[in-house]
């Protein structure tokens, strides 16, 4: 058997680290979920002797966990870290120093940390200690998992994924018909996976009134990964007996409304366990860029916008959509006599500036993810 070329093995080991980091994605607050894999490459084939992922809540960081739980002495080992190891004394000492102290021989990293306390300094610390460092290994593969963190650090606001489920004839639903099935079970499971992978799910009051949704993740085993629910209600019209409010004691729920929201309504929401976030207004509507800044500062750095059509349109018009996920159902729905709700986007008219980067065929339905190409 011929030995695997070193550069290919590096990418493969980094790939394993990137997949391992997904374990705590969305569960580490404002901190990214990073992973560190320690390899003994003096043996053939190389073997993993340690692995760590940023702890729930964001600390400890990945590297000291990998070192602490290593199955063998990590001296001389090679580290694969999905983000540049930190260089600052925060609530924990610098991870670059932890790698140096552990006697790590070589470090591969994937993404340079944009955090001003770290950026470039983590790599420099390692090099100054005589450690060979290779950067940007499998960076394209690592990017989606760190995108929300990178976006928050560079733009100061939460990242937005807009999800739309469009029927075969281009509609989102029928007015007054409540929730209607656009896609089948397999596609719905994918949309619940999207919920599990985001910090928060956002809808407007119209969706609460029309659909009375649960907005949780109902995939078996992932119920605990339900995102925080954010309800936008500028005019106080969502009913207090809606499912989201009745379950606000179990899943964190935030009502976003103007600061002068009626006191009785505010108290009633508080009693149900629903938080209140006062927002800025502009032209009678909730100011979305400011709201995304507030949510980002609260550690909710990835937001899945799920409805309805008006909110989707506002996000698109204000150029606040970073990722667009389009589900296309096979069925046509417009024939039943009710007014159909047109979608602001359909597979044939995706706004310019978006590029498809992922596609799934889902038993008759389809899902395509488009990423906003931003010039940075
Ligand atoms: C790492 N490994 O696992 C993570 C890192 O508030 P602190 O002190 O925890 O620092 C937060 C910063 O640490 C965060 O902005 C990012 O730069 C880095 N995250 N670094 O070496 C990790 N999660
Ligand atoms: Zn660190």
Q: CATH 3.40.430.10 occupies which residues in the chain?
A: 157-372
Tokens of 329: 């159902």
User: Is 4 designated active site?
Assistant: no
CA 73 to chain centre: 35
Average pLDDT over residues 186-191: 95
- Taking the centre of ligand 1 as the mean of its atom positions, its distance from the CA of residue 59, in whole angstroms, is 8
- Tell me how far apart the alpha carbons of residues 22 and 53 are, in angstroms, rounded to a whole number: 9
Mean pLDDT, rounded, of the chain: 94
**Ligand 1 atom closest to 28 (CA):** 23
- Taking the centre of ligand 2 as the mean of its atom positions, its distance from the CA of residue 19, in whole angstroms, is 19
The catalytically annotated residue of 41, 63, 84, 306 is 63
- Which residue lies with its CA nearest to atom 2 of ligand 1? 61
Domain 157-372 has CATH 3.40.430.10: yes
Mutating to test ligand 1, I would choose from 30, 61, 85, 93 the residue with most ligand atoms within 8 A of its C-beta, which is 61
- Tell me how far apart the alpha carbons of residues 208 and 199 are, in angstroms, rounded to a whole number: 19
- Tell me how far apart the alpha carbons of residues 162 and 317 are, in angstroms, rounded to a whole number: 12
In 177-332, which ranges are E strands? Answer: 200-204, 228-232, 253-258, 275-279, 281-282, 285-286, 302-307, 323-328
**Ligand 1 atom closest to 88 (CA):** 8
Mutating to test ligand 1, I would choose from 27, 68, 86, 135 the residue with most ligand atoms within 8 A of its C-beta, which is 86
How high is the pLDDT of residue 4? Answer: 75
- Taking the centre of ligand 1 as the mean of its atom positions, its distance from the CA of residue 86, in whole angstroms, is 6
Please give the model's pTM, rounded to 2 decimal places. 0.88
- Tell me how far apart the alpha carbons of residues 161 and 179 are, in angstroms, rounded to a whole number: 21
| Multiple choice CATH, 6-149, 2.60.40.420, 2.20.25.90, 3.30.70.890, 3.40.140.10 | 3.40.140.10
Task: Name the band, by pLDDT with cuts 50, 70 and 90, for residue 91.
Answer: confident
Ligand nearest to the CA of 82: 1
For ligand 1, say whether the CB of 96 is within 6 Å of any of its atoms. Answer: no
Highest mean pLDDT among 101-115, 174-188, 318-332: 101-115
How high is the pLDDT of residue 30? Answer: 85
Cα angle, residue 89 at apex, residues 84 and 93 outer, rounded to 5°: 80
Q: CATH 3.40.140.10 occupies which residues in the chain?
A: 6-149
For ligand 1, say whether the CB of 118 is within 6 Å of any of its atoms. Answer: yes
- Taking the centre of ligand 1 as the mean of its atom positions, its distance from the CA of residue 61, in whole angstroms, is 6
> pLDDT for 93-102, tens place per residue?
999 999 999 9
């Amino acid at each position: 058997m011929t030995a695997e070329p070193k550069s290919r093995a590096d990418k493969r080991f980094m790939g394993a680290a990137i997949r391992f980091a997904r374990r705590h994605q969305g569960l580490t607050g404002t901190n990214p979920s990073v992973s560190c894999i320690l390899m003994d490459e003096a043996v053939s084939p190389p073997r993993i002797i340690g692995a760590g992922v940023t702890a729930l809540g964001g600390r400890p960081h990945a590297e000291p966990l990998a070192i602490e739980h290593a199955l063998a002495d990590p001296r001389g080992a090679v580290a694969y870290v999905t983000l540049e190891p930190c260089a600052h004394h925060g609530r924990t000492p610098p991870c670059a120093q932890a790698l140096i102290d552990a006697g790590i021989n070589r470090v591969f990293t994937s993404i340079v940390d944009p955090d001003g306390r770290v950026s470039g300094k983590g790599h420099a610390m390692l090099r100054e200690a005589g450690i060979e460092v290779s950067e940007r290994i499998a960076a394209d593969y690592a990017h989606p998992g760190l995108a929300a963190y990178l976006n928050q650090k560079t733009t100061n606001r939460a990242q937005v994924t807009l999800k739309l489920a469009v029927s075969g004839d281009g509609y989102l639903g029928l007015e007054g018909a409540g929730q209607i099935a656009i896609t089948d079970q397999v596609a719905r499971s994918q949309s619940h996976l999207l919920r599990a992978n985001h910090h928060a799910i956002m809808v407007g009051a119209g969706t609460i009134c029309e659909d009375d949704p649960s907005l949780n993740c109902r995939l078996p085993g992932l119920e605990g990964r339900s995102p925080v629910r954010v309800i936008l209600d500028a005019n106080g019209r969502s009913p207090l007996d809606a499912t989201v409010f009745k379950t606000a004691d179990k899943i964190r729920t935030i009502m976003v409304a103007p600061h002068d929201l009626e006191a009785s309504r505010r108290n009633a929401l508080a009693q149900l366990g629903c938080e209140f976030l006062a927002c800025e207004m502009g032209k009678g509507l909730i100011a979305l860029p400011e709201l995304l800044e507030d949510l980002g500062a609260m550690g909710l750095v990835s937001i899945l916008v799920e409805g309805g059509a008006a909110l989707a349109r506002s996000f698109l018009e204000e150029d606040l959509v970073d990722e667009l996920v389009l589900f296309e159902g096979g069925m046509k729905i417009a024939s039943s006599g009710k007014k159909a709700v047109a979608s602001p986007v359909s597979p044939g008219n995706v706004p310019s500036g978006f590029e498809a980067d992922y596609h799934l065929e889902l038993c008759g339905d389809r899902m395509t993810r488009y990423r906003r190409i931003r010039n940075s």
